[in-house]
Structure 1
């Protein structure tokens, strides 16, 4: 699901350090429409601290088209695995759009919406999530605070109370609709005269404590924290990222969601991990 912590900093750094052969001359006026994008290979896809690829590799990519007015739209995709069955192609495809306007001295307000899609899967697994982000800089540090709110939708419902119920395929509360809130803060600090940036992320989820219609959840235990500490190195148009990712979801807290919330039935998919990613931006 988009805004994954495995690549937020890497994509941000890559977007600002891409091969300069494509950059405009400083004297040229800015183009009214710009297109940017990236492709990435990561050792895991962690969304809000939880693996979406069964703790295996992920191939991801997307593109954004932006107008000088501040309007933008784009897409992002990744392979999926685990969590029971995503259905169809086991692929996530996110469509997003919004409006970003500068405020203050170097700050920006970004308001938009992401539509999460799972091609070939059940229609009830798709959902919409509006967001508001406020960003700014202080010296070499870029700061972003964000609020994501997904209104009541069946994809977020407490359809299966336990992982065993999901495996049995018998919904406890079919058609249930719930909402979800996610609050996050991110900081990226460029180290002067080096290609290195350090980053940190913290997030808080508030949603339903069960499983949705496809046996997954964007807030598995209802309320939990996730955090990331990482570093990115820009090398010849690529960005190598290393992240330490963890949550406060204990094995006991998530036991009722097994086997869905585990790899191979025993290995929790929200435990601490190191994720390595390689990103190329254009």
Structure 2
């Protein structure tokens, strides 16, 4: 489990939004396209567990896509683990390749991601980890079905190997309104295995999107360190795509 800070680095994340997220919806060329967004979520959840102590978190990403299916990107978010070192932000650097099958409805994805917590104070094992992921996405009319499997050789804070299997179904009620539900299971070498699930809806208007979802896990308060990080919650996320400048 990725494991706070009473004073999150808003200046740093705003700088990332300004400098690293130069395009909004997209800026395409024969070299591909660049996508980016900034947003605010009422609670940053990672596989069902709060990584922001139940508090709001500022987030942003930049994503580069190529016509041959290769892609790379950077995701930044505030975190709040309530740890002695006041770890306050996370950076996810990822890259991979999409493979579109000839049926035009199926996409396979292979990805590697490095998750870092640059201002953690390492007195023991690090929070940082590497993750390898494979996913398959199938579209059937208004439905989009996704299955994801991932492997972490060494999870945060020396928790050993971690595996994840996750499924998600999305249904487009109309072009600007969709429903989504997902369920996942994570197995970890040193820690508590968990099942997590969510259901929600996303509405979009121009460059804005608003998502509301309900999330829960099967972890008990004792397994969650006697915190409310694993308790059921309704989470709202507001996101805006930044306008293109290139």
TM-score tier by shorter-chain length is 0.7 to 0.9
User: How far 1:149 sits from its partner (Å)?
Assistant: 0.3
| Alpha-carbon distance change, 132 to 83 in structure 1, aligned in 2, over 3 angstroms | farther
Is 1:142–2:144 an aligned residue pair?
yes
2: CA distance between counterparts of 1:186 and 1:83? 31
User: How far 1:103 sits from its partner (Å)?
Assistant: 1.3
1:111 counterpart residue number: 110
Aligned residues: 217
Q: State the secondary structure of the residue aligned to 2:53.
A: coil
1: CA distance between counterparts of 2:80 and 2:186? 22
1:1-282 matches, cutoff 5 A? 31-85=30-84, 87=85, 90-105=88-103, 106-121=105-120, 122=122, 124-151=126-153, 153=154, 155-158=156-159, 178-192=160-174, 195-210=176-191, 221=192, 223-254=193-224, 257-258=225-226, 262=227, 268-282=228-242
2: CA distance between counterparts of 1:156 and 1:131? 20
* Larger relative contact order (CA 8 Å, sep ≥ 6): 1
User: How far 1:281 sits from its partner (Å)?
Assistant: 2.3
Contact 2:40 2:239 (C-alpha < 8 Å) held by counterparts:
yes
User: How far 1:83 sits from its partner (Å)?
Assistant: 4.3
More strand by share: 2
Contact 1:52 1:83 (C-alpha < 8 Å) held by counterparts:
no
1: CA distance between counterparts of 2:42 and 2:57? 6
2: CA distance between counterparts of 1:120 and 1:82? 12
| Alpha-carbon distance change, 115 to 157 in structure 1, aligned in 2, over 3 angstroms | same
Q: State the secondary structure of the residue aligned to 1:148.
A: strand
RMSD across aligned C-alpha pairs, in angstroms?
Answer: 2.3
Query: Gaps spanning 5+ residues in structure 1: where?
Result: 3-17, 25-29, 159-177, 211-220, 263-267
Contact 1:156 1:180 (C-alpha < 8 Å) held by counterparts:
no
| Alpha-carbon distance change, 154 to 139 in structure 1, aligned in 2, over 3 angstroms | closer
Q: State the secondary structure of the residue aligned to 2:126.
A: helix
User: How far 1:155 sits from its partner (Å)?
Assistant: 3.1
Q: State the secondary structure of the residue aligned to 2:161.
A: strand
Larger Rg: 1 or 2? 1
| Alpha-carbon distance change, 96 to 23 in structure 1, aligned in 2, over 3 angstroms | closer
Length-normalised TM-score, structure 1: 0.71
| Alpha-carbon distance change, 281 to 150 in structure 1, aligned in 2, over 3 angstroms | same
| Alpha-carbon distance change, 72 to 233 in structure 1, aligned in 2, over 3 angstroms | same
| Alpha-carbon distance change, 243 to 154 in structure 1, aligned in 2, over 3 angstroms | closer
After superposition, what is the alpha-carbon deviation per residue over 1:29-70, rounded to whole angstroms, capped at 9, x for unaligned?
x73311011111111001111001110101100111111111
2:7 counterpart residue number: none
